[in-house]
Amino acid sequence: MALSAQQIPRWFNSVKLRSLINAAQLTKRFTRPARTLLHGFSAQPQISSDSCFLQWGFKTYRTSSLWNSSQSTSSSSQENNSAQSSLLPSMNEQSQKTQNISSFDSELFLEELDELPPLSPMQPISEEEAIQIIADPPLPPASFTLRDYVDHSETLQKLVLLGVDLSKIEKHPEAANLLLRLDFEKDIKQMLLFLKDVGIEDNQLGAFLTKNHAIFSEDLENLKTRVAYLHSKNFSKADVAQMVRKAPFLLNFSVERLDNRLGFFQKELELSVKKTRDLVVRLPRLLTGSLEPVKENMKVYRLELGFKHNEIQHMITRIPKMLTANKMKLTETFDFVHNVMSIPHHIIVKFPQFLHRKYRI
């Protein structure tokens, strides 16, 4: 049964009220759309049902009013027009209310998004997200090899590129731990520049640092002071470079020790300053090694082999390694050359290579 023109506005207002209540309930149900956004999805508040219903209601009301106007008198037509004109402002107000609700919900959404706590590592994730996670292997708490740390340490990676043999350094746990604590830019770069200034070439840095990894624990200013001391003793830059290459631990010794070693050889062998300098340039490990073999061999040459002091001077300045030769091998070689081959002392002094060669005895 068709509604009269007077009943239509009352029916329409009641239905409009019910749609507003339903829209409010839907808004309450979706007060936290931000959670779906965390997984890559977007949610828009849907309150367009009421506006759609308003359009449908307006069309229905308009159709009914037209049908009734064809069968009613001119007075009822005027009432219908008045009712129609009074209804239009209410529709504009309803559209404005809908826009206000949408903007209000958007503000609530942004506020709730700001108030959300950060993602927790304990938050469950889907299997697809878990597959996409690429995690670096954890550092071992303890290891017997530096190989386990190379992928995680820029310092170790650059040392390997320089030619440093980490397999030899890792045999010394203290040195290995030191390298793991060092920063390449802060701790190693300046040391490399210093070594290059001393005279170590780029292709020699790897071998040098493999042997003397302890140099990283030395203060750079102390190293510069030791080089300056050698220059003050008239060692040329080429001499210092040659000594450091042959005896990598030379710069690890203090100025006092270097000075004492130079004084020992000059006094013990009664050599001039120039000959002492030439001696240690040719065999710089005399400054870094133990003095016991040197003292022992000096006694052997004098007491057991029967050489005079000036003869010893001549031999060791020709072949400095005779100062550090093995005592047992030295006496066996001399016995074969002097007693079996019958070579006298003065010939051995003139050609000290006799005592420095290996013979099948």
pLDDT score of 141: 58
**Is residue 184 a part of any domain in this protein?**
yes
| Biggest distance spanned by C-alpha atoms of the chain | 158
**Is residue 181 a part of any domain in this protein?**
yes
Report which DSSP code applies to 341.
S
Query: Tokens 């770069």 label which residue?
Result: 189
Q: Which amino acid is at 234?
A: N
Three-state DSSP at 319 gives coil
Instruction: Region of 40 please: left (phi>0), alpha (psi -120 to 50) or beta.
Output: left
Three-state DSSP at 88 gives helix
**Is residue 336 a part of any domain in this protein?**
yes
Instruction: Region of 234 please: left (phi>0), alpha (psi -120 to 50) or beta.
Output: left
CA distances in angstroms from 277 to 230, 231, 284, 300, 317, listed in the order given: 10, 11, 10, 24, 11
Do 295 and 355 lie in a common domain? yes
Torsion angle of alpha carbons 84, 86, 87, 88, nearest 10°? Answer: 90
Do 175 and 186 lie in a common domain? yes
pLDDT score of 126: 79
Do 199 and 223 lie in a common domain? no
pLDDT score of 69: 44
Q: What are phi and psi of 280, to 5 degrees?
A: -75, -25
**Is residue 73 a part of any domain in this protein?**
no
Token pair of 122 as six digits: 């304990």
Q: Which of 232, 256, 288 is the last residue of a domain?
A: 288
Do 208 and 167 lie in a common domain? yes
Say how far apart CA 75 and CA 144 lie, in whole Å.
105
Nearest to 100, CA basis, from 50, 144, 60: 50
Do 197 and 235 lie in a common domain? no
pLDDT score of 128: 80
Taking the mean position of all CA atoms in its chain, how far away is CA 60? 73
Work out the number of other CB atoms within 10 angstroms of the CB of residue 292.
8
pLDDT by position in tens, the chain (length 361):
444 444 444 554 554 445 545 544 544 444 444 433 333 333 343 444 444 433 444 444 444 443 444 444 444 444 444 444 444 444 444 555 455 545 545 554 455 545 555 556 667 777 787 777 775 555 555 555 777 777 778 888 899 899 989 888 888 888 888 888 888 998 899 999 999 999 999 999 999 999 999 999 999 999 999 999 999 999 999 999 999 999 999 999 999 999 999 999 999 889 999 999 999 999 999 999 999 999 999 999 999 999 999 999 999 999 999 999 999 999 999 999 999 999 999 999 999 988 877 776 5
Nearest to 245, CA basis, from 215, 201, 292: 201
Do 232 and 266 lie in a common domain? yes
Do 258 and 200 lie in a common domain? no
Do 185 and 241 lie in a common domain? no
Say how far apart CA 292 and CA 302 lie, in whole Å.
16
Q: Which amino acid is at 232?
A: S
Do 256 and 295 lie in a common domain? no
pTM here is 0.59
**Is residue 6 a part of any domain in this protein?**
no
| Alpha-helix runs per DSSP H in 271-361 | 273-282, 292-299, 309-318, 327-334, 345-350
Is 265:286 a contact under the CB 8 Å cutoff? yes
**Is residue 302 a part of any domain in this protein?**
yes
Do 213 and 152 lie in a common domain? yes
Q: Which of 202, 217, 232 is the last residue of a domain?
A: 217
Say how far apart CA 111 and CA 89 lie, in whole Å.
33
Is 188:215 a contact under the CB 8 Å cutoff? no
pLDDT score of 361: 57
**Is residue 253 a part of any domain in this protein?**
yes
Work out the number of other CB atoms within 10 angstroms of the CB of residue 69.
17
Cα dihedral sign, 279-282-287-293 = negative
Say how far apart CA 24 and CA 300 lie, in whole Å.
110
Q: Tell me the residue range of the domain where 263 lies.
A: 219-271+280-288
Q: Which of 288, 313, 335 is the last residue of a domain?
A: 288
Number of structural domains found in the chain: 3
**Is residue 330 a part of any domain in this protein?**
yes
Say how far apart CA 68 and CA 91 lie, in whole Å.
22
Burial class (CB within 10 angstroms; exposed 0-12, middle 13-18, buried 19+) of 30 = middle
Do 249 and 297 lie in a common domain? no
Do 230 and 203 lie in a common domain? no
